[in-house]
Amino acid sequence: MAGLQELIIPVIFFITLAFFLLRRRYTARKIQLPSPGKLPIIGNLHQLGKLPHRSLQSLSKRYGQLMLLHLGNVEVVVASSAAAAGEIMKNQDLIFSNRPELSIPGRLLYGGRDVAFSRYADYWRQMRSICVLQLLSNKKVRSFRGVREEETSLMVEKIEQLGRSSTVVNLSDQLLGMSNGVICRVALGRKYGGEENRFKRILAEFIELFGTSPVGDYIPWLAWIDRVNGLDARVERVAKLFDEFLEDVVRDHRDRKKLSAMVGDDDDDDDDDAELDFVDILLQFQRENENTSPVEDEAIKALILDMFAAGTDTSFAAMEWTIAELIRNPTIMKTLQNEVRKVVGRKGEIEEQDLEKMTYLKAVIKESLRLHPPSPLLVPRESTQDTKVLGYGVVSGTCVVINAWAIGQDPTLWENPEEFSPERFLDTSIDFKGQHFEFIPFGAGRRGCPGTAYAMAVNELAIAKLVHKFNFTLPNGGRGEDLDMTEANGITVHKKKSNACNHIKILMLATLYLTSYLLYKNNEFRLELM
Ligand code: HEM
């Protein structure tokens, strides 16, 4: 009898617990999200197409601002309206601040020890605060002004030089070289290009891998395909190469520090940190917090990799789109050139403080980011508890994708959304800082992009210098509207098997390779379509 009594309490406890758990799950699912029909095994993967942001926009027109897709085994909620984005990234930001575990970033970024792909936990909070306060603060961004000015001037000089010796200049190469040059100097202290092609090659492969979707992430029992087709081995190889490279960089920085300590030029106590690059700052932070909140070398390397993964191709793509739109819209180009040339006046060279007076330039860049957000699907989030979004149940652990591109195209929010019209940003307070959910190229909330100030500082200066120095016209009387604006996401065979979650990375990291060239003739650069 006593034995039976001992059993009753745990049995009642478990029945009650099961009841509450099931009820919560039922409540979360109560109003089911609309969902397109799915195929066995792959679910809706086949409906993503080559440009998932466009396919998802089409699906959302049929299934609504919030819909549920099944990508292999993974359930993904797709939000395609400003209201849904605001609900997820503002009202319920805490619940949606996790990132799903994706195997390639996991393996390339030291098991997710970076900021962008790490899970929402104390570790992420520590890394994010280092990133925001130490590396990408407004003060720090200002301190790299000299680097930006030098690298953008170098780009202009190179274009001039190339234009003199050959009639064809590849503008895309120059923009990419410049943005890599800036991030290398800012993060590592010097440029790794030119003779050190090793770095360039690894970086290109690293970024390409981010755009690859392993089958195993979505259909785990097919993970063997990633081993057989060599993807796993490639990831391992690139991770190892980058690790060796970063080991060298960290060792160099430590040696330099030791040397300056020996000659009495140790700047740890120095308030003036203007010359410190990201690796210096992180090593300094490591030394100062050795006993309280230790930061391991792997975290330093992961953070540096984040800066390259999240910051190079996005900025480069944004600049390329802006120039392309300007070439397509000669009247807008002229208005911008007039503004820039008037502000610069007889000085000849643009200085960063001039940018403050260039309101049209800022509107042009915003409009380009609205039409061409470099990460159209942002970076995926994951819910950490059962909840309801706009009345629909979303269970804990669901991957959530926000279609920022579709929101920027919403005709209920934007008049003639397909038109490139910077004027729409002239008399409005709408900004990309994460408060206006109709315009979120940098995301919003806790996980919003911490590199916005950095990116805008480089982009504004580069665009201003290009339109200040050069006139762009199409050869053979070609019309601006002939410029090919097709989006390319660099999809390879692997990417064909991908799903929305990884396509976010594909789109975030993929560059837009415009097949455009500048022709230099009679002191004028002309754009030739190849
Ligand atoms: C035009 C340039 C850029 C665009 C369009 C862009 C866009 C984005 C987007 C959409 C996200 C995800 C936001 C979200 O989940 O809500 C993000 C995250 C991030 N970005 Fe950027 N970004 C740019 C430049 C940069 C730069 C230059 C850096 C650093 C040097 C950077 C560092 C990061 C990091 C570390 C994260 C992860 C934040 C987190 O998960 O807590 N980004 N970015």
Among 94, 101, 442, name the best residue to mutate to test ligand 1's pocket (greatest count of ligand atoms within 8 A of Cβ).
442
CA–CA separation, 446 vs 125, rounded Å?
A: 10
Q: Is the CB of 455 under 6 A from ligand 1?
A: yes
What average pLDDT score do residues 297-320 get? Answer: 89
- HEC assignment per residue over 84-131: HHHHHHHHCCCCCCECCCCHHHHHHCCCCCCCCCCCCCHHHHHHHHHH
pLDDT, position 358: 98
Residue 306 in contact with ligand 1 by CB distance below 6 A: yes
Q: For residues 363 and 469, is the Cβ–Cβ distance under 8 A?
A: no
For residue 507, name the pLDDT band (cuts at 50, 70, 90): very low
CA distances from 14 to 5, 8, 22, 397 (A): 15, 10, 12, 23
Q: What is the percent of the chain where pLDDT is above 70? A: 81
> Given pLDDT bands bounded at 50, 70 and 90, which one contains residue 90?
very high
**In angstroms, what is the span from residue 123 Cα to ligand 1's centroid?**
18
First to last CA, the chain: 89
**414/347: higher pLDDT:** 414
Task: Answer for the pair 530, 478: CB distance below 8 angstroms, yes or no.
Answer: no
- Helix axis angle, 197-210 to 171-188, nearest 10°: 100
- The pLDDT value recorded for residue 343 is 96
Q: Is the CB of 443 under 6 A from ligand 1?
A: yes
**Position of tokens 């990419």?**
176
- pLDDT at site 489: 57
Handedness of CA 381, 387, 389, 394 (dihedral sign): positive
Q: Render pLDDT for 442-456 as a digit per residue (tens, 0 to 9).
A: 999 999 999 999 999
Amino acid at position 359, single letter: T
Cα(504) to ligand 1 centroid in Å equals 12
pLDDT tens-digit readout, 357-388: 999 999 999 999 999 998 899 999 999 999 99
> Which span out of 8-22, 82-96, 503-517 was modeled with the highest average pLDDT?
82-96
Please say if the pLDDT value at position 402 is more than 60: yes
Task: Please say if the pLDDT value at position 344 is more than 80.
Answer: yes
pLDDT tens-digit map of 132-182: 999 999 999 999 999 999 999 999 999 888 877 766 677 778 888 898 899
| Tokens read off for 333 | 């180009």
Both tokens of 397, joined, read 């652990």
What is the pTM for the complete model shown? 0.87
CB-based contact 207:489 (threshold 8 Å) = no
Sheet holding 524-529, edge to edge: 168-169, 516-521, 524-529, 472-473
The CB of 189 under 6 Å from ligand 1? The reply is no
Is 399 within any annotated ligand binding site?
no
Give the β-pairing of 399-402 and 381-382. Answer: antiparallel
474 close to 529: Cβ distance less than 8 angstroms: yes
Please tell me the least confidently modeled range out of 126-130, 298-302, 524-528: 524-528
Task: Give pLDDT, residue 480.
Answer: 65
Residues 99 and 381 sit within 8 Å (Cβ to Cβ): yes
Indicate whether residue 380 lines ligand 1 (CB < 6 A): no
User: For residue 499, is pLDDT > 60?
Assistant: no
Confidence at residue 165, expressed as pLDDT on a 0 to 100 scale: 75
460 Cβ inside 6 Å of ligand 1: no
Phi-psi region of 391 (alpha: psi -120 to 50; beta: other; left: phi over 0): left
User: For position 486, what pLDDT does the model report?
Assistant: 76
ipTM above 0.95, yes or no: yes
Q: What is the distance between the alpha carbons of residues 259 and 342, in angstroms, rounded to a whole number?
A: 48
